[in-house]
Amino acid sequence: MPEISYHLPSRPLPQPRESTLGYLLRLGDRNGHRSLAWVAQIRRQHSRPDVTLNQFLQLTTGHPEPSLHQIYGPSLPALQPAPSHLLGLKTQFWNSEHRRWCPACLRESGYWKAEWQLTLQIVCPEHGKLLQEHCPGCHKPLRWHGGELFHCFCGQDLRQARTPQADGPLQALGQLISAAFVTATGGEPAATALQQDWPSEVATLHLTRLCELLWSLGCYATFSTVTKPQKVQRHHHLKVLLPILANTARLLSNWPAVFDTFLQERVQPGREYALSLRQFLGQQLAWLHRTLAHPEFHFVRQELERFIALHWKGRITDRHHFISHGVKQRHPVISVVEASQQSCLSRDKLVTLVQQGALQGWSADHHGRRDFLMISRTSLEQFLLASGGMLNLIDSAAYLGVSKGRLKLFVERGLITPTYRPSGGKNDPVQWMFQQQVLDTFLTSVQVNAHATPDCGSLISIDQICRGYTRNGAGMVELLQAIQQGDLKMIGHNPAKVGIGGLLLSRQSFRHWFEQRQPEKTVFSLAGAARYLGIKEHVLYWLRDRGLIYDWHQAESKRMTSVHKETLDQFRQRYVWGRELAELSGYGRQSASRALINRGVWPVSGPRTDGGITYVFLREDLEHYLRVERG
């Protein structure tokens, strides 16, 4: 097959970054050919239908191949360009359908720039004006095969067209694309300032990645209701591209706030509780995430994953391969199973904590049914940190120094709020759960410093009050409430006892407070009379049987023995015993009775008198002895 031996008379060199079709048009114009038809004529004349673009140019111009590396963009269908001329861009990002140009640049430089053939380049980066794609005379799109180098087929000079000024965001987008194009062609882009509120990563993207990003963002933002947003008809026309690129510039501005708003608008209300991530994102956002799978789009993926972690109330699992491991580890939502493993709490306890508001939790929506409980990771961590550990009923009672029954009574009376309380018929102490911080707060409200002499006769401990003045713990609750309200003042704490049982009060102030709480009560049962006198019930039985306390009444219907308060007051005024005996005599509580007996003061009841349990003396005998003793 014969070689092409025809060399064009005029063979200008390509200009830097000149359009392939524009160079063919300029080459023909310099040799008297007004259109691109000369290429087909030479190929037919020399019978070389399979020649490539570089081979054709070398044989017709004689230029070496390195000098032809200045041209970029698609060529005629019959002349296959080298891959380096297309810069790795997809076909949709090259506009070979019709011409697009800047009249001022065409007038100044005299050649067609390859940058104008980029589908997404609609602004001249030098003049800031929209590119022209319609003939100013006939107002029709000008194809590469129609018209001359600088004129339309209607005769209109293309260099005389007037184009409107582009707005600021579109100009910034045009400069960004131009800089990426210059970099992709091995040049040094002019220094242009990136918009301050745009992500800095877009300035470092390769041209191929930049076009994919701008196209994806613009299409998904413009065609929100379309099933396949990137399938856009007539996408090479400015009328179609303008709203797409305007939305792209809007998403990149004020990054990532506007992008976050865009994502929120795409999520349907109520989908944040969807169990499936695909249901939450919807079809469009799921496709967008797959479209931006290249590593260079990491900054967009990070924002999308951050949005998922912030707004999706579902659980990210290992099957979500497209989400980074770090996001999975930091995702603020975990299942109730994971929460149970981390906290060592049963699922029932976690459900109760969510119902009580101690934990943040919700049920994920799965096919219309909400039966998958999700827990907020942050609320669980804060709960465990604030609780400082969880204690069951047995450990909590030991921590406070009270019995399990009294601790339950504290709960019933509102002094302590448990974190978890068994419901129904469950009464296992292990099922109860208290936060240690709550117990510490309760102790702090009644706790004081240790007392140097806790056995002093003028003091009385909570433990002694419970044994001598209360029954079933009811009085203890009232006592603690009086301490918290300031009605009773704490003197100190017995360091030998744990919890609230070792708290010390003034005996005199306690008796005054205790008696004031019973002013309206004139009749006491046997147990109430014992509490009123501060003695044990079996001692009261003995004193009653010996006739020291009389005037008892038997109710026939209730079978209950009662006594009037006046009778008890008379008994207290006439007799003295126990701690009061030690206080008046000046002896110790254990030795007061023996010392008085040795000094001739004989009790009316006691082990050495009538076999009684407690020594009881006449107050008159004791006062007489003290007067004589003190002279």
- pLDDT tens string 488-503: 887 877 777 777 777 8
Query: Does residue 472 register a pLDDT over 50?
Result: no
CA-to-CA separations, 19 to 53, 96, 113, 237, 350, in angstroms, rounded: 13, 11, 5, 18, 68
**Signed CA dihedral, 453, 458, 464, 466: sign only:** negative
Peptide bond into 256 cis (omega under 30): yes
Q: What is the pLDDT of residues 223-263, one digit of tens each?
A: 877 778 888 888 899 999 999 999 999 999 888 889 888 88
Predicted local distance difference test score (pLDDT) of residue 237: 92
Predicted local distance difference test score (pLDDT) of residue 474: 43
The band of 94, judged by pLDDT with boundaries at 50, 70 and 90, is very high
Paired tokens of 490: 């704490």
Predicted local distance difference test score (pLDDT) of residue 329: 62
Predicted local distance difference test score (pLDDT) of residue 1: 39
Predicted local distance difference test score (pLDDT) of residue 551: 78
Q: What is the pLDDT of residues 282-334, one digit of tens each?
A: 776 767 777 777 888 888 888 887 887 777 766 666 656 566 666 656 666 77
Predicted local distance difference test score (pLDDT) of residue 273: 67
Of 109-118, 257-266, 371-380, give the range with the top mean pLDDT.
109-118
CA 312/CA 374 separation, integer angstroms: 11
Return left, alpha or beta for 472; rule: phi > 0 is left, psi -120 to 50 is alpha, else beta: left
Q: What is the pLDDT of residues 574-613, one digit of tens each?
A: 999 888 888 888 888 888 889 888 888 899 999 888 888 8
Angle separating helix axes 238-252 and 257-266, nearest 10 degrees: 110
Report, as an integer, the average pLDDT of 142-166: 90
Query: Does residue 83 register a pLDDT over 70?
Result: yes
DSSP-based three-state secondary structure for 113: strand
Delimiting residues of CATH 1.10.1660.10 domain(s) in the chain: 390-446
Name residue 459's beta-bridge partners. 506
Query: Does residue 566 register a pLDDT over 70?
Result: yes
Residue appearing with tokens 């407690």: 614
CA 333/CA 346 separation, integer angstroms: 18
CA 309/CA 32 separation, integer angstroms: 65
Pick the more confident residue, 165 or 474.
165
Report, as an integer, the average pLDDT of 207-217: 92
Q: Which helix (H) or strand (E) holds 18?
A: strand 18-19
Which amino acid, one-letter code, is at 287? W
CA 172/CA 121 separation, integer angstroms: 11
Q: What are phi and psi of 281, to 5 degrees?
A: -75, -35
DSSP-based three-state secondary structure for 376: strand
Report, as an integer, the average pLDDT of 194-211: 88
- 2: DSSP letter: -
Report, as an integer, the average pLDDT of 544-557: 77
What share of the chain has pLDDT > 90, as a percent? 22
Overall residue count recorded for the chain in this entry:
631
Query: Does residue 335 register a pLDDT over 50?
Result: yes
In 3D, which of 26, 118, 38 has the Cα closest to residue 72? 118
Report, as an integer, the average pLDDT of 26-44: 88
Report, as an integer, the average pLDDT of 507-530: 76
Please enumerate in sequence order all residues whose Cβ is within 8 A of that of 584, keeping only pairs 6 or more positions apart, or say none. 576, 622, 626
The strand pair at 71-72 and 18-19 is best described as parallel
Give the HSE-up count for residue 183: Cα atoms under 13 Å, Cβ half-sphere: 17
Of 20-34, 254-268, 430-444, give the lowest mean pLDDT range: 430-444
Predicted local distance difference test score (pLDDT) of residue 25: 93
The band of 133, judged by pLDDT with boundaries at 50, 70 and 90, is very high
Predicted local distance difference test score (pLDDT) of residue 473: 42
CA 370/CA 220 separation, integer angstroms: 31
Report yes or no: 436 and 391 within 8 Å, Cβ to Cβ. Answer: yes
Report, as an integer, the average pLDDT of 395-419: 82
Report, as an integer, the average pLDDT of 539-553: 84
CATH of 390-446, picked from 3.20.20.80, 1.10.1660.10, 3.30.2350.10, 3.40.50.720, is: 1.10.1660.10
Please enumerate in sequence order all residues whose Cβ is within 8 A of that of 225, keeping only pairs 6 or more positions apart, or say none. none
The band of 564, judged by pLDDT with boundaries at 50, 70 and 90, is confident
| Other Cβ atoms closer than 10 A to 367 | 8
Dihedral angle of Cα 213, 92, 229, 244, to the nearest 10 degrees: 60
Report, as an integer, the average pLDDT of 415-434: 72
The average confidence (pLDDT) of the chain is: 81
